[in-house]
């Protein structure tokens, strides 16, 4: 099993915080967000991590290679033009084989132990209960992502996929959820694992400040 971290976004919702620093390098409790992911992947035994970059990408690549390049194989996939989440993953994992790949959004902060991923295989979405009824991303029925009914579960930004799923889309630029995962869900082929963890989407100023108080 290998891993890929999505780190190419602009982080526009964070305003001034991301004017000169990319979102994956923003600090939560004194440490860059992306460091938590890489450290936990290394502790879980992962040997190869792909990371896509775009906005202020040199800052990310310099940091992760200097900090972790001696501990794990890091493959930087820089995008001259944004390829969307799906296109970005497809390009970043192009050298991977037919193994399962853990996909992680870089702007997630949680207490999940990444050794947990070894218990699962593709195609799996890791979810948490929504804070309020019908405020999540989708319904979960019989351990499958279900697009009907009340949206009572939220996608955590963790998933397990195989390269062949991404390669079914011939486009260079496409969306991971809308153009890939949603199709699997419509065909009852997207497993849902409900997590009991502390989890935060650090994509907005309020959450960032809350975690750093």
pTM confidence score: 0.97
Percent of the chain with pLDDT over 70: 100
With a cut of 90, say whether residue 45 has pLDDT above it. yes
What is the pLDDT, as a whole number, of residue 212?
Answer: 97
The CATH architecture assigned to 2-212 reads Alpha-Beta Complex (3.90)
**Domain layout of the chain by residue ranges:** 2-212
Q: Bin 143: left if φ > 0, else alpha if -120 < ψ < 50, else beta.
A: left
What is the pLDDT, as a whole number, of residue 133?
Answer: 81
What is the pLDDT, as a whole number, of residue 134?
Answer: 85
């Amino acid at each position: 099993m290998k891993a890929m971290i999505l780190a190419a976004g602009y982080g526009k919702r964070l305003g001034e915080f991301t004017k000169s620093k990319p979102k994956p390098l923003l600090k939560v409790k004194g440490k860059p967000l992306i460091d938590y992911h890489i450290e936990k992947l290394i502790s879980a035994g992962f040997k190869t991590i792909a990371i896509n970059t775009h906005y202020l990408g040199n800052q990310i690549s310099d940091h992760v290679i200097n900090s972790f390049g001696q501990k794990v194989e890091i493959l930087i996939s820089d995008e001259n033009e944004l390829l969307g989440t799906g296109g970005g993953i497809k390009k970043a994992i192009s050298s991977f084989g037919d193994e399962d790949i853990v996909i992680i959004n870089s702007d997630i902060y949680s207490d999940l132990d990444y050794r947990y991923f070894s218990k699962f295989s593709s195609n799996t979405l890791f979810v948490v209960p929504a804070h309020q009824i019908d405020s999540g991303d989708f319904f979960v029925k019989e351990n499958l992502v279900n697009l009907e009914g009340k949206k009572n579960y939220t996608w955590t930004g963790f998933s397990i996929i195989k390269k062949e799923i991404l390669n079914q889309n011939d486009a260079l630029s496409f969306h991971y959820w809308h153009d890939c995962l949603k199709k699997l869900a419509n065909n009852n082929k997207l497993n849902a694992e409900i997590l009991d963890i502390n989890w935060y989407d650090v994509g907005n100023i309020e959450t960032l400040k809350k975690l750093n108080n």
